[in-house]
């Protein structure tokens, strides 16, 4: 992968590279952005609609009610929670506080693209550590730490590979990091994971109560609130003050706060989304493997699919009205990322790729 950063490529930019043709009488199937295919909780939608009745009222700049609810749900101190305009907002805030142009920011070779972009914005040096079977390698990460390393960003599970680092390995990573290195665990897809040996980072943060762990989460994925951009971070007390200073005032709008608060109050909905996604993920993995498409094990709401010619596969899917995400910008030119869609959407993907592979 080139050391030069790539700009973020949204769905519209990705779609422009191929001609997408919805089938006659059908609709476009956009599986390029890892959006929840099942939407948001009806309670969250109702709460957002209700808050729209008072658009003249500013949002609570501290997201107080949301932080308190997150504290109750996750057994955390609300004073150590900072909310943001999506978790990416907070990842950027963290970078601006802890890193300078002479510093290094470390992440895995196929890590979330925003990590490299954050380092570039700051003028810091991005450093990548090799992965093992598309999964973060603790020994490789530790070997890449230098006296200049200030932040280690780890997406767990990772985007775009869909793999995760087990809780024991996460603990080993933190235990062997110098206290001067901040471990930032981005857990955007945590709600999709069913593995028993997984820790989003919150358990580790509670156990260690260390000054060098920050965990970020989002409501954009399993909660289905991507349009509202709500994220949150659990940080040591020494970090929350600076984060509140650096983040924008009112960075989480009032409608987003209301929707996120109501979504937290409907845990059964989120669990149902997790289980439906897991069933479809297993079915998709088996079906694609059966027709010769290699799919690494994933725990997320997307799959990474390998092709001899990923560009040709993408164009074939586009002709069938299916939009996918190329991931050459993550150093994976032979792969496409496919969001787990609704069952009928996944059927369309399987049928299209069966024809392509044939």
Indicate the range of 26-30, 216-220, 322-326 predicted with least confidence.
26-30
Picking from 302, 309, 276, 305, the residue whose alpha carbon sits closest to that of residue 289 is 305
Rounded CA separation 62/81 (Å): 10
- Span 150-199, pLDDT tens digits: 999 999 999 999 999 999 999 999 999 999 999 999 999 999 999 999 99
- Span 71-80, pLDDT tens digits: 999 999 999 9
Residue after which a domain boundary falls, among 265, 283, 306: 265
Are residues 329 and 186 located together in one domain of the fold? Answer: no
Q: Residue 192 belongs to a domain with what CATH number?
A: 3.40.640.10
Are residues 308 and 217 located together in one domain of the fold? Answer: no
Are residues 31 and 54 located together in one domain of the fold? Answer: no
Picking from 186, 187, 182, 234, the residue whose alpha carbon sits closest to that of residue 211 is 182
**pLDDT value of position 209:** 87
**Burial level of 101, CB count in 10 A (0-12/13-18/19+)?**
exposed
Are residues 35 and 47 located together in one domain of the fold? Answer: no
Rounded CA separation 201/204 (Å): 5
Q: Domain count of the chain?
A: 2
Q: What is the percent of the chain with per-residue pLDDT over 90, rounded to a whole number? A: 91
275: domain range? Answer: 11-40+268-357
Are residues 36 and 46 located together in one domain of the fold? Answer: no
Are residues 127 and 33 located together in one domain of the fold? Answer: no
| pLDDT for 126 beyond 90 | yes
Are residues 126 and 182 located together in one domain of the fold? Answer: yes
Mean of pLDDT values over 207-221: 95
Rounded CA separation 119/134 (Å): 22
Are residues 150 and 252 located together in one domain of the fold? Answer: yes
Determine the straight-line distance between the first and last CA of the chain, rounded to whole angstroms. Answer: 31
CA separation (Å) from 341 to 93, 203, 276, 293? 32, 30, 10, 18
Q: Residue 30 belongs to a domain with what CATH number?
A: 3.90.1150.10
Domain assignment of residue 340, yes or no: yes
Are residues 158 and 226 located together in one domain of the fold? Answer: yes
Domain assignment of residue 1, yes or no: no
Rounded CA separation 36/34 (Å): 6
**pLDDT value of position 16:** 45
**pLDDT value of position 92:** 97
**pLDDT value of position 12:** 39
Task: Give the model's confidence band at 27: pLDDT under 50 very low, under 70 low, under 90 confident, else very high.
Answer: confident
Task: Give the model's confidence band at 5: pLDDT under 50 very low, under 70 low, under 90 confident, else very high.
Answer: low
Number of neighbours of residue 21 by Cβ within 10 angstroms: 13
CA separation (Å) from 144 to 139, 204, 274, 317? 9, 22, 35, 39
Picking from 165, 207, 210, the residue whose alpha carbon sits closest to that of residue 190 is 165
Which residue has 């020494």 as its token pair? 238
- Span 327-352, pLDDT tens digits: 999 999 999 999 999 999 999 999 99
Domain assignment of residue 154, yes or no: yes
| pLDDT for 14 beyond 50 | no
Domain assignment of residue 5, yes or no: no
**Could you tell me the pTM of the whole model?**
0.92
Mean of pLDDT values over 89-99: 97
Domain assignment of residue 244, yes or no: yes
Mean of pLDDT values over 132-145: 97
Are residues 28 and 122 located together in one domain of the fold? Answer: no
Q: How many Cα atoms sit within 13 Å of 234 on the Cβ side?
A: 24
């Amino acid at each position: 992968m080139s050391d030069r950063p790539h700009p973020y490529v949204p769905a519209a930019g990705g779609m422009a590279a191929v001609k997408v043709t919805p089938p006659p009488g059908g609709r476009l199937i956009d599986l390029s952005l890892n959006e929840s295919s099942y939407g948001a909780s009806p309670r969250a939608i109702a709460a957002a609609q209700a808050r729209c009745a008072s658009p003249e009222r500013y949002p609570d700049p501290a997201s107080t009610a949301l932080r308190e609810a997150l504290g109750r749900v996750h057994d955390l101190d609300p004073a150590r929670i900072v909310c943001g305009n999506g978790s990416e907002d907070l990842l950027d805030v963290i970078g601006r506080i802890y890193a300078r142009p002479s510093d290094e920011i470390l992440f895995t070779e196929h890590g979330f693209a925003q990590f490299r972009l954050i380092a570039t914005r700051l003028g810091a040096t991005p450093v990548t550590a090799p992965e093992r079977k598309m999964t973060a390698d603790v020994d490789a990460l530790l070997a890449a730490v230098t006296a200049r390393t200030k932040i280690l960003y780890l997406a767990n599970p990772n985007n775009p590979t869909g793999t995760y680092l087990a809780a024991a390995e996460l603990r080993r990573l933190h235990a062997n990091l110098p206290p001067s290195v901040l471990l930032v665990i981005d857990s955007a897809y945590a709600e999709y994971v069913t593995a028993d040996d997984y820790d989003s980072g919150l358990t580790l943060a509670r156990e260690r109560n260390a000054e060098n762990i920050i965990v970020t989460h989002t409501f954009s994925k399993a909660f289905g609130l991507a349009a509202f951009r709500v994220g949150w971070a659990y940080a040591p007390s020494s970090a929350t003050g600076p984060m509140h200073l650096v983040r924008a005032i009112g960075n989480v709008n009032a409608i987003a706060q209301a929707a996120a608060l109501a979504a937290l109050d409907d845990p059964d909905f989120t669990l149902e989304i997790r289980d439906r996604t897991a069933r479809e993920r297993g079915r998709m993995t088996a079906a694609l493997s059966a027709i010769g498409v290699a799919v690494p094990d994933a725990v997320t709401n997307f799959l990474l699919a390998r092709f001899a010619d990923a560009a040709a596969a993408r164009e074939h899917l586009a002709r069938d009205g299916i939009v996918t995400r190329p991931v050459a910008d993550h150093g994976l030119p032979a792969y496409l990322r496919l969001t787990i869609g609704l069952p009928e959407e996944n059927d369309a993907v399987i049928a299209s790729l069966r024809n392509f592979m044939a």
